[in-house]
Amino acid sequence: MFPYIVRRLLIAIPVLFGVTVFSFFIVNLAPGNPVEMFISPDATQADIELKKEALGLNDPIYVQYWRWLQNLLQGDFGYSFSTYAPVGEMVASRVLPTLLLMGSALLLAYIFAIPIGVISATRQYSWIDYLTTGFSFMGISIPNFFLGLGLIYLFAVQWQILPSGGMNTLGGDGGFGDTIMHLLLPAFVLATGIAGSMVRYVRSSMLEILGQDYLRTARSKGLREFLVVNKHAFRNALIPIITVVGMDIPLLIGGAVVTEQIFQWPGLGQLTIQSILSRDYPTLMAINFIAAITVLLSNLLADILYSVADPRIKYN
Amino acid sequence: MSLANLKTEQEPVLQHPPDLGLGEEESYLKMITKRFFKHRLAVVGLVIFIVITLMAILAPWISPRDPYEITGDFAAEPSAEYWLGTDQVGRDIASRLIYASRVSLAVGIGAVAIYVVIGTVLGAIAGYFGKWVDMCIMRLTDVFMSFPYLMVILVLVSIMGPSLYNIIIVLGLLGWPGIARIVRGSVLSIKEMDYVKAGITLGYSTPKIVFQHILPNCLAPILVNATFGIASAIIMEASLSFLGMGVQPPTASWGNMLTEAQSLTVLSTQLWLWIPPGLMILLAVLSINFMGDGLRDAMDPKSLK
């Protein structure tokens, strides 16, 4: 198994390189000049040239890339074009809120989706199966922003039991309970899509396993149905689902952009929108890079976990 | 996106291998159709989808007003005159809703058509030639798959300038990795089959073998993936337009019709502004996902009898 993990890691290196090249170049293809954003309107052309020279924007693009990569390897993401603050610090302050949001969304999604998927599969074609199928398709098909707005309308405007946005009450004591109240709606919105597809996966994975011969054997030797489903079938059904968890991460990050914008959640998604509006390339590059690395690592982890969980896989 | 990976990605098994004894091509099609129509949700989805398509085609004749016409009534409530009210600029919402279906369908079908072609060609090349060609294409696929879809699209669209055509192009250029993987997997398993070896022995050209003999056998998973892809492209366009990075007003898109609802006053007092377009997106996406599910079940080789 160890050589397999090493090989998987080695494959990740060219991909990682591709990721840096891609994220650097697409953002640098952008038209418009970031210097114009923060220089006073009466600055002369000479001033602008001076500023561009100072920022290194006149160098050939591969020189800029190489410099960016070198700095990156030292943990330096450069300075924001819009706030002058170090990008690393700006991004770092946004990581925790996003992790909190995505973590709770994942937890929420799986806590509900896995048992529902199992029940749906064991009672195939019953009314409960049709109901969950209907709801899971709704969850997958509803746009995050529409669901978010609908929930804000109901919970914050009509019933006034939950805040409409932000992470803490302004001027409040900012306690943990307060954050949880702010977290509920956005986490639920993010969780619906993930839960919807998870229910489908768990259901089809369970259905496949339930039809296997060894389960018939388990039943015929008089094992209770509860044990057959939860001990023999469920554990095997979980194996293919590990891959799905890895695939959920990019979905979560993308969904977080829209959701954070609607709920004014101070995370990476909101920072992305702000950076796009202010043409803040270094920040955009850093966010995209971090997001891509996260996806790469989570897929790697999923692959490795899969190979650990399924002893039938050969490593060669 | 998420649904499309269900099963089809893990099991790119050939769908109707020539040795199945099914007889003529027609009987296979007939069987798929029969099984599709047995899937109740899929049929409901098909009906809704046909209605939306008709709405898009017949927009000039069925919409009560010109979608760009500015009436004297701003943010008017729904009434006999304005079925769904007017927006804050005074345009008729019902008409805009009808015209916006054109945008969604154009993005869905346009973007998916582009990436199905790219994905199929790259996947076929990788699967058929193998070795370093395969290695390079698959690593490229990995790179594309590492970026969170929406984030990169957001950046690219903002660079190219937000417009309908740019959205179609960006979604088309970024959406191919899923298809490429499926096609590669199918080609890998099919190219070892005797009839392909026979083709090689007979001296057929490589493109002929790949495109005429191998690819028709990967059609089913491609079709299923493309169907779910249309749904996800429609959501993507709506999200971009909602964020102001997509189709720009005055052109109506279901997504940009919801942008105004980000203000709390619109959200809480002018429900007719944002609930109808939101429901339209949900309905369109849901109907296509139902169709995709029906197609997948109908074409599942495991339930071939």
User: Is B23 a member of any domain?
Assistant: no
Backbone angles phi, psi at B139, to 5 degrees: -70, -35
Are B285 and A143 inside 8 Å of each other by CB?
Answer: yes
Would residue B24 count as lying in a domain?
no
- Least confident among B25-39, B72-86, B128-142: B72-86
pTM: 0.87
- Report helix, strand or coil for B239: helix
Q: Is the pLDDT of residue A32 over 80?
A: no
Mind listing the pLDDT tens digit for each residue in B84-106?
788 877 788 888 999 999 999 99
Is B8 part of any domain?
Answer: no
What pLDDT score does B100 carry? 92
B258-B264-B270-B272 Cα dihedral, nearest 10 degrees: 30
In a domain, B6, yes or no: no
CA distance A277 to chain B (A): 8
For A223-262, write each residue's pLDDT tens digit: 887 888 877 888 888 887 887 887 788 778 888 899 999 9
Residues of B in contact with A23 (CB under 8 A): 147
Which chain B residue is nearest to residue A130, measuring alpha carbons? B41
> Are the beta carbons of A295 and B155 separated by less than 8 Å?
no
CA A101/CA B147 separation, integer angstroms: 19
B286–A193 C-beta distance less than 8 A: no
Assigned domain for B31 exists: no
| A211 in reach of chain B (CB within 8 A) | no
Quick check: A243 contacting B, CB < 8 Å? yes
Residue B19 has pLDDT above 50, yes or no: no
Q: How far apart are CA B135 and CA A15, in angstroms?
A: 11
CA-closest candidate to residue B98, choices B157, B56, B127:
B56
Lowest mean pLDDT among A3-17, A279-293, B15-29: B15-29
Shortest CA distance from B277: residue in chain A: A146
In a domain, B305, yes or no: no
Q: Cβ contacts (< 8 Å) between B294 and chain A: which residues?
A: none
Q: Do A288 and B158 touch (CB under 8 A)?
A: no
- Chain A neighbors of B152, CB-CB under 8 A: 26, 288
Instruction: For residue B175, give the 3-state DSSP assignment.
Output: coil
Instruction: Tell whether B245 lies on the interface with A, counting CB pairs under 8 A.
Output: yes
Q: What is the mean pLDDT of residues B239-266?
A: 88
- Residue A102 structure tokens: 């995505």
What is the CATH number for B166? Answer: 1.10.3720.10
Predicted confidence band of residue A39 (pLDDT cuts 50, 70, 90):
low
- Give every CB contact of residue B166 below 8 A, 6+ residues apart in sequence: B157, B160
d(CA B126, CA B146): 19
pLDDT value at position B16? 47
In the numeric block, which tokens belong to residue A196? 């919807």
Give CA A316 to chain center in angstroms: 31
Percent of chain B clearing pLDDT 90 (strictly above): 38
Q: Could you tell me the pLDDT band of residue B13, with boundaries at 50, 70 and 90? A: very low
Q: Which residue has the tokens 């008089």?
A: A222
> With bands split at pLDDT 50, 70 and 90, how would you rate the model's confidence at B286?
very high
Query: Which ranges of chain B does DSSP label H, i.e. alpha helix?
Result: 25-38, 40-57, 59-62, 93-129, 131-146, 149-160, 164-174, 177-190, 194-201, 206-208, 219-242, 264-269, 271-299
Facing residue for B239 by CB, picked from A145, A150, A240: A145
Residues in A closer than 8 angstroms to B274, CB to CB, are 146, 149
Q: H or E stretch including A188? A: helix A176-210
CA distance A117 to A208: 13
Number of domains comprising chain B: 1
Average pLDDT over chain B, rounded to an integer: 84
B160 vs B150: CA distance, rounded Å: 15
Cα–Cα separations (whole angstroms), residue B274 to A37, A207, B259, B270: 34, 40, 8, 8
Q: Give domain status of residue B216, yes or no.
A: yes
Q: Which domain holds residue B134?
A: 36-299
Bridge partners for B86 per DSSP: B92
A27/A48 Cα distance (integer angstroms): 21
**B258 reaches A (C-beta below 8 A):** yes
Contact between A98 and A179 under an 8 Å Cβ cutoff? The reply is no
Contacts of A19 in chain B (CB under 8 A): 143, 146-147
Chain A residue closest in CA terms to B135: A11
pLDDT at B262 over 90: no
Least confident interval from A143-157, A217-231, B33-47:
A217-231
CB proximity under 8 Å: B 75-134 to A = none
Contact yes or no for B242 and A145 at CB 8 A: yes
Cβ–Cβ gap B239/A140 under 8 Å: no
**For residues A292, A298, A303 and A305, what is the CA-based torsion angle, rounded to 10 degrees?**
170
For A66, other C-beta atoms within 10 Å of its C-beta total 13
Is B269 among the domain residues?
yes
Q: With 70 as the cut, is the pLDDT of residue B129 above it?
A: yes
What does the pLDDT look like over A80-102, one tens digit per residue?
777 778 888 888 889 899 999 99
